[in-house]
Amino acid sequence: MIFDLIKERRSIFPPQYIDKPIPKETIEKILEAANWAPTHKKTEPWRFKVLTGDKKQELGIFLSNKYEEVDPRPKQMKIKKLQFNPSNSGAVIAICMQRDPKESLPEWEEIASVAMAVQNMWLCCTELGIGSYWSSPGLINYMDEFFDLKAGEKCLGFFYLGYFDGEVIPSARTPISEKVEWLD
């Protein structure tokens, strides 16, 4: 049931991933789920760049080098994490947004559409038993140096994927009644 799937969705982080490849067909299924997100004026602004194999390591090296370049006091732990997360993942999907060239709607609506596409991917991963995590470090502002981004395209983060062992810890939420105001 979709309601149960929504409640089970969690961030599963790269250190929890096991060394088990994710088949290309499975990644394509996850991306197909993204393609059915709502989109105002049918702009379909989501764009994805799938990194597997050596390209994951290249991303980690780029991120750690860029971090050392832009941070006046880089931390060794962060450098290692920036390299580890991509390399330990079954795949990394760069989450990008292609701005409508006509700017026929507010940018926030296109960002919201991309976020809904990612939620579809996340729910699909949950159903398939694949851990996933959306990271949006400040370093995404430099991704035009790593990817060939088109005019009006920008990177909004990385979606890390990997199979994992272990149970998913249930999350607690405050009751919805504390977040809703009924107006009659």
pLDDT at residue number 171? 83
Q: Measuring CA to CA, how many Å separate 19 from each of 118, 127, 128?
A: 24, 20, 17
Q: Is 171 assigned a ligand-binding role in the annotation?
A: no
Alpha carbon distance 114, 35 (integer Å): 9
Phi, psi of 153, rounded to the nearest 5 degrees: -100, 140
Give pLDDT tens digits for 93-133: 999 999 999 999 999 999 999 999 999 999 999 999 999 99
Q: How many residues does the chain have?
A: 184
d(CA 49, CA 58): 14
Query: Which residue ranges form the domains of the chain, and what is each CATH number?
Result: 2-178 (3.40.109.10)
* Chain-centroid distance, C-alpha 60: 15
Does 132 appear as a known binding residue? no
What's the rounded mean pLDDT across residues 4-14? 93
Coil vs helix vs strand at 83: helix
10 annotated as a binding-site residue: yes
40-99 confidence digits (pLDDT tens): 999 999 999 999 999 999 999 999 999 999 999 999 999 999 999 999 999 999 999 999
CB 143 within 8 A of CB 93: no
- Please tell me whether 104 is known to bind a ligand: no
Q: Which amino acid is at 177?
A: S
Report whether 73 belongs to an annotated binding site: no
Residue 9 corresponds to which tokens in the numbers above? Answer: 């969705």
**d(Cα 1, Cα 68) in Å, to the nearest integer?**
46
Tokens of 58: 């290249």
Instruction: Flag whether pLDDT at 170 surpasses 80.
Output: no
